[in-house]
Amino acid sequence: MTAYLLRRSLQALLTLFVISLILFGLISSAPGGIMSAYAENTDMTPEDIARLRAKYGLDDPVPLRYVKWLGNTLRGDWGDSLVSKRPALQEIADRLPNTMLLMGVTLLATLLIAIPLGILSAIKQYTWFDHFATTLAFAGQSLPVFWFGLLLIIVFSVTLRGADGRPLLPGSGMSSLGEPFSVADRIRHLILPVTMLAFVSAAGYMRYLRSSMLDVIHEDYVRTARAKGLRERMVIYRHALRNALIPLVTLVGLDLPSLFGGALFTETIFAWPGIGRLYFNAALKTDYPVVMAVLVIYSGLIIASSLLVDVLYAALDPRIRLG
Amino acid sequence: MPETLFFFLWQRFRKHTPALLGGLVVVLVILLVAFAPFFSRYDPYQQDLLNRFSPPSAEHWMGTDDLGRDMWARVLFGGRVSLSVGILAMSVAIFFGSFIGLVSGYYGGWIDSILMRITEIFLSIPRLFVLLAMGMYLRALDLPNVQAGSFVPLSIVIGALSWMGTARLVRASTLELREREYVQAARALGAGDARILLQHIFPNVASPIIVSATLGLAGAIISESGLSYLGFGVQLPTPTWGNMLSNTQNQMTTAPWTAIFPGLMIFIVVIAINYLGDGLRDALDPRHIAGKK
């Protein structure tokens, strides 16, 4: 087990190294270069830009720049945003709590919708309920998520009005302007973005759980449980459900990095000040240090979570041996 | 009736009503966009500033947009671009995926190790975020925005980030197939690697490839529309279903129809393709019992 962990961790580091190499190469070869953000600034003369290029070492060959970048990054200096001039890591840290709130609530809502629906659908296979739930899930998986967000705004923030004539639900931001912070207000602002995300991701979870439950129901040990006279409830909840939920570890585990990356579309559409929106704005303004920092951290989290999932899976399911 | 393979598959496929309907919708939409000029009297680029934001009517049955252009005409012509990007991106992904999967599964050993490491690397990057960065890159390249053709680099980028699932699927099938007796027989008779791979293994991995091509097409259409929506895909004024939605958030109070119809087209086409793929999987994979999964 220790040897396995060691090998996988080394592999993970190597993967992350290669990814950072590719991303750095890509970004530093970008046409217009890192300075293109300044090129539009009319206050700057070509001499100013040349001086900045020299200051940031942009005239060095790319491999040398990569080594410098790697050294700085490992020491915790991820560069400054070209737009705000603040450290890229600081920009990320400022947005992280907002994204984690949004994505945490979404994950919770997804599980609360998908687990009961998936199980019921499997137990009641081929009934009208099953057909209804699977059709809905199919639709959810085919929905362009940003368009769904626009529809939600049209219906709940534009068309429907509350008793006071204001929009029924806020379609933008984290809190109402000019009002003191309140939990109720925050929750009202969470409803639409969470609905947008949870509907689509619950669709995938639900289909996955349904099929995993169906697999388990036809296993021998479930038949044995029935044969020894256990009540159906006991068979389902005690024996079948426990094993059917194991694959859920994979799903949730692989979704964990999104607690960092958030939802690009949702945060852009609902003006949610999280990492997704930060990244979108950085890409618009070709703010390379921020783009690079978000990409590398996000990739690292994805690699770490897939390692975590494999280890957890082996811990939960004794039939699986790591090697 | 002839008892051919295709007849047999058709017998299985046609029992799957949603898939049949899905296939029908896909064919209809392809015909609509391919013969777009026959179905719309308007030019998708023709502005009519006196008729901005006119609501759906007999004249403009999807209404007009912020520059007075006919939405129906733009939806039809935008469909050409969106579907082309989808098909091209899917072809790129399927080509890479099949090639890597076949080679990896057939040769095994260090070739397999390296190719699977590369696959893992591609699976470990946040796809949408990197697509956006690539979109930023392509925008900075400032390619001549020719009405036809500007979507080619974008399609290649989407395809280059979407082949991993196919590669793993094809590799798993190839691993199993290369141990079969008929493959060993072919080898004993002196067939070379290329011949075995192309003549004996490839036809037998065609089913998973067809299924992932169908589902990949739906995914590529969604990717294009999302990127173009954010302004990092196909650039205006060339319409696509994605970039037609770009500015609609500011127009929602006055002209909600501009935000509804292009998205509805994406949704209809994607759900139709997904049902088609579902039916194909049931028909092509004998181990996969219809409706069970």
> Which residues from A are below 8 Å from B259, CB to CB?
147, 150-151, 154
Contact yes or no for A151 and B292 at CB 8 A? no
Return d(Cα B240, Cα B228) in angstroms, integer. Answer: 8
Banded model confidence at residue B289, pLDDT cuts 50, 70, 90: very low
Alpha carbons A138 and B166: distance in angstroms, whole number: 21
pLDDT tens digits for range A155-176: 998 888 877 777 888 878 887 7
Give residue B148's pLDDT: 45
Q: Write down the pLDDT at residue A35.
A: 63
For B204-237, the pLDDT digits (tens) are 898 889 988 998 999 999 999 999 999 888 887 8
Which chain B residues have a beta carbon less than 8 Å from that of A295? 125-126, 129-130, 133
Whether B153 shows a pLDDT value over 80: the answer reads yes
pLDDT digits (tens, 9 = 90+) for A16-33: 999 999 988 888 777 655
Q: Which of A30, A144, A284 sits opposite B222 (nearest CB)?
A: A144
Report chain A residues whose CB lies below 8 A from the CB of B267: 142-144, 147
So what's the pLDDT on residue A13? 92
Closest by CA to A210, choosing from A106, A139, A126, is A126
With a threshold of 0.85, tell me whether the complex ipTM lies above it.
Answer: yes
* Ranges of H-type helices in chain B: 5-13, 17-34, 36-39, 71-107, 109-123, 127-141, 151-160, 164-177, 181-188, 193-195, 206-230, 257-284
Cα–Cα dist A111/A248, whole Å: 10
User: Nearest CB to A150: which of B117, B230, B263?
Assistant: B263
What is the model's pLDDT at position B146? Answer: 45
Please list every residue in chain A whose beta carbon sits closer than 8 Å to the beta carbon of residue B252: 150, 153-154, 158
Q: What single DSSP character describes residue B50? A: G
pLDDT given at position A174: 83
Query: What does the pLDDT read at residue A160?
Result: 85
Chain A residue numbers with beta carbons less than 8 Å from the beta carbon of B293 are: 211, 214
Q: A167 pairs with which residues across the strands?
A: A161
Residue B246 has pLDDT above 50, yes or no: yes
Which of B267 and A41 is assigned the larger pLDDT?
A: B267
CA gap A286, B137 in Å, rounded:
9
Tell which wins on pLDDT, B6 or A35.
B6
Length in residues, chain A:
323
Among A15, A144, A150, beta carbon nearest to B120: A15
A19, A22, A139 member nearest B271 (Cβ): A139
Residue A66, CA distances (Å) to A21, A23, A25, A58, B32 in order = 7, 10, 8, 11, 50
Tell me the C-alpha distance between B270 and A166, whole Å.
35
Average pLDDT, integer, range B242-263:
85
What is the pLDDT, as a whole number, of residue B249? 81
- The whole-angstrom separation of Cα B263 and Cα A236 is 41
Rg (chain B; Cα; Å) = 22
Answer whether A235's CB lies under 8 Å from A280's CB.
Answer: no
Q: What is the pLDDT of residues A286-320, one digit of tens each?
A: 888 899 999 999 999 999 999 998 888 888 877 77
Residues 6+ apart with CB under 8 A from A193: A102, A106, A149, A263, A266, A267, A269, A270, A272
Q: Tell me: the pLDDT tens digits for A86-96?
A: 999 999 999 99
Mean pLDDT over the full length of chain A: 86
